[in-house]
Structure 1
Amino acid sequence: MSSESAPAARGSGFAYALAAYAAWGLFPIYWKQLGHVPALTVISHRVVWSFLFVAGLLTVGRRWREVKAALGSRRTLGALLVSTALISSNWFLFIWAVNTGHVTQASLGYYINPLLNVVLARVILGERLRRPQLVAVVLAATGVVSLAVSRGELPWVSLLLAATFGVYGLVRKMAPVEPLTGLAVETGLAAPVALVLVALAPAVPGATGGFGASMRDTLLLVGSGVATALPLLWFALGAKRLRYGTLGIIQYVAPTLQLALAVLVYGEPFTRPYAVAFACIWTAVLLYALDALWWSRPRPLPVHAARQGA
């Protein structure tokens, strides 16, 4: 873990994880400031400045050998190519959703995500589903189906956000690479394409704003690198210090903040179909939380049983 005592490590881990998920939950505020800039331009700058920021951290920490090792491993490089495509798609879709008034659907996607992770763990990793997890997945699916039927269309923004981030997390879990190193390789692989798109951005018909258009736009685009990398690093530090179940519950801070922003700040409608769907999802989340924090925890043996075992 670290040189910290166990209680201190848990405390700092909680603080890091909470900071990460709170930042992700408040991201719509940041991206809304760039709503007049095409989403593809924003994501391109996000990739470029994230890479430069992470490269600076690697240089300070003298960790470029890790990047070289990752690039030299065919298995690791293949996994990171896949994860690069997934996280780039996720970033683009989230920014597009925020700036086109779909923050409610985005928050629904991140409520679904951990429940989808349970399914992926069963299908890909062969992990068994406990009964509360199975019920939670069925409830979540019921919520999505009810929303699709009520609206006459699938909530594709929610499903794509959940799927891209869920599979991304699975790929990164299976890739033998540290978080900072992995992010450096991912943004480095995407950077050449992003640089081309940045260069072409001024020629996009009807595009307004962007790098150099104003000091405000420029600072926001440059700052997107720090805004991207810091929460990921906080998350990595928190994950090393906390139980997985605890981390799984803290992650609901992000979609809760996103939903609050969507309804209370940006005035997106919270209709009856959404209420039914979220009721199913929230019930599923409660089951997931109880299973992670309580039902699945090993129970201490009674005193007399412990003595007999001794």
Structure 2
Amino acid sequence: MATVTDSGAGAPSAEPAPSGDTLKGFFYALAAYLFWGVQPLYMKLVAHLPTLEVLAHRAIWSVPVALVLLVWLGRTADIRRALRSPRTMLQAAVAAAFVSCNWGIYVWAISVDRVLETALGYYINPLLTVLVGALLLGERMSAAQMVAIGFAVAAVAVLTWDAGGVPWVSLALAGTWAAYAFFKRTLPVGPAQGFFLEVLILLVPALAVAAWFQASGRGHFFDNGGYEAALFIGCGLVTAVPLIVYATGAKLLTLSTIGIMQYIAPTLIFLMAVFVFHEPFSQVKLFAFVLIWIGLAIYTWSFLSRRGAAR
């Protein structure tokens, strides 16, 4: 799930941000965020399958989908240059390792009915990314950003006290995505091209894992008359399509607009967790989410203020 921050620690587009928003860009980005928001519905369909096997097929089938979309959009020149650069491929490999961890936690959490924790993780992510930018890149945080991060820390403390343990799913999702964004920002290609490089690097180990499942008799690809195969192939579609649609739309929007729209997906995930999947939602959890929402409101106000002042 793509995010953007004013710290610069998010994955950048290969082209400069536009001077104004376009309606086409808005609908591209909206489609991507809505898709990400309802993605748990699809992940529930594969919840009965081993997480590792789902991850393997997600990487395998993302490769052809991403390649077709890149060819259609005419964005293959960067790929050829990147494949000839060992440094670029190493950077892509590190990013691929972190996004694999993020995918694994996300798929597993949904399969064991912890969707609410994934929503919290993606709410925390923008604030954690700002913190990463400050700690690792030496970027200055405004007073408002520090207050926003304080609210997030308070929310995590409340949840830790309530559950008797750290909400590690949320923190792991936010942490692995922040690390992914940090390393992805070094790639000298756009986000869509970078995604293709990442899944291309994951292709060989993913094929090995899928082959092991089939050879050991634990594979599900040929089960149920091709139904499971369709689900596995669909994992590539639900992974690659929204990301590349988002990357296309982001080129046609200002960072301020993207910064606000990024909350659409976790909000939909939150609503589905409570009203569709009926996960337990106590008053303590509500209080923790209110703290997060206050922190995000402060962060967004700071983000928009600084962008407006810069313009």
Q: TM-score, normalized by length of structure 1?
A: 0.88
Q: Per-residue deviation at 1:208?
A: 7.7
1:26–1:257 Cα contact (<8 Å) kept: yes
**Distance (whole Å) between structure 2 residues aligned to residue 270 and residue 176 of structure 1:** 43
Please name the residue that 2:130 is paired with: 118
SS in 2 for 1:298: helix
**Distance (whole Å) between structure 1 residues aligned to residue 55 and residue 295 of structure 2:** 32
SS in 1 for 2:92: helix
- Of 8, 13, 25, 2:25 maps to 13
Structure 2 residue identity aligned to 1:144: V
Q: Per-residue deviation at 1:65?
A: 4.5
5 Å matches for 1:187-266?
A: 187-202=199-214, 209-266=220-277
- Of 46, 50, 73, 2:85 maps to 73
**Distance (whole Å) between structure 2 residues aligned to residue 290 and residue 63 of structure 1:** 35
Please name the residue that 1:52 is paired with: 64
2:210–2:219 Cα contact (<8 Å) kept: no
1:114–1:248 Cα contact (<8 Å) kept: no
- Of 120, 130, 142, 1:130 maps to 142
How many pairs are equivalent? 296
Q: Per-residue deviation at 1:294?
A: 3.8
Structure 2 residue identity aligned to 1:119: L
Q: Sort the Cα spacing of 1:46 and 1:96 in 2 relative to 1 into closer, same or farther, 3 A.
A: same
Deviates more, 1:109-118 or 1:50-59: 50-59
CA deviation profile, 1:161-181 (whole Å, cap 9, x unmatched): 001111111211222112232
Q: Sort the Cα spacing of 1:211 and 1:6 in 2 relative to 1 into closer, same or farther, 3 A.
A: farther
**Distance (whole Å) between structure 2 residues aligned to residue 68 and residue 128 of structure 1:** 36
SS in 1 for 2:308: coil
SS in 1 for 2:289: helix
Q: Per-residue deviation at 1:87?
A: 0.7
Please name the residue that 2:166 is paired with: 154
Structure 2 residue identity aligned to 1:217: E
1:147–1:273 Cα contact (<8 Å) kept: yes
SS in 1 for 2:304: helix
**Distance (whole Å) between structure 2 residues aligned to residue 209 and residue 231 of structure 1:** 26
Please name the residue that 1:297 is paired with: 308
Deviates more, 1:171-180 or 1:65-74: 65-74
Please name the residue that 1:39 is paired with: 51
Q: TM-score, normalized by length of structure 2?
A: 0.88
**Distance (whole Å) between structure 1 residues aligned to residue 171 and residue 300 of structure 2:** 21
2:34–2:265 Cα contact (<8 Å) kept: yes
**Distance (whole Å) between structure 1 residues aligned to residue 290 and residue 73 of structure 2:** 46
| Identity across matched positions, percent | 37
Please name the residue that 1:277 is paired with: 288
Q: Per-residue deviation at 1:63?
A: 5.1
**Distance (whole Å) between structure 2 residues aligned to residue 13 and residue 64 of structure 1:** 21
**Distance (whole Å) between structure 1 residues aligned to residue 310 and residue 215 of structure 2:** 64
2:69–2:244 Cα contact (<8 Å) kept: no
Q: Per-residue deviation at 1:296?
A: 5.0
Q: Per-residue deviation at 1:212?
A: 4.0
Structure 2 residue identity aligned to 1:147: L
Please name the residue that 2:121 is paired with: 109
Where structure 1 has 5 or more consecutive residues not aligned to the other structure, the ranges are 301-310
CA deviation profile, 1:146-192 (whole Å, cap 9, x unmatched): 11122111100000100111111121122211223211211111111
SS in 2 for 1:26: helix
Q: Does 1:186 align with 2:198?
A: yes
Q: Per-residue deviation at 1:210?
A: 4.0
**Distance (whole Å) between structure 2 residues aligned to residue 211 and residue 172 of structure 1:** 35
Q: Per-residue deviation at 1:121?
A: 1.6
Structure 2 residue identity aligned to 1:79: Q
Q: Per-residue deviation at 1:203?
A: 5.5
Structure 2 residue identity aligned to 1:252: Y
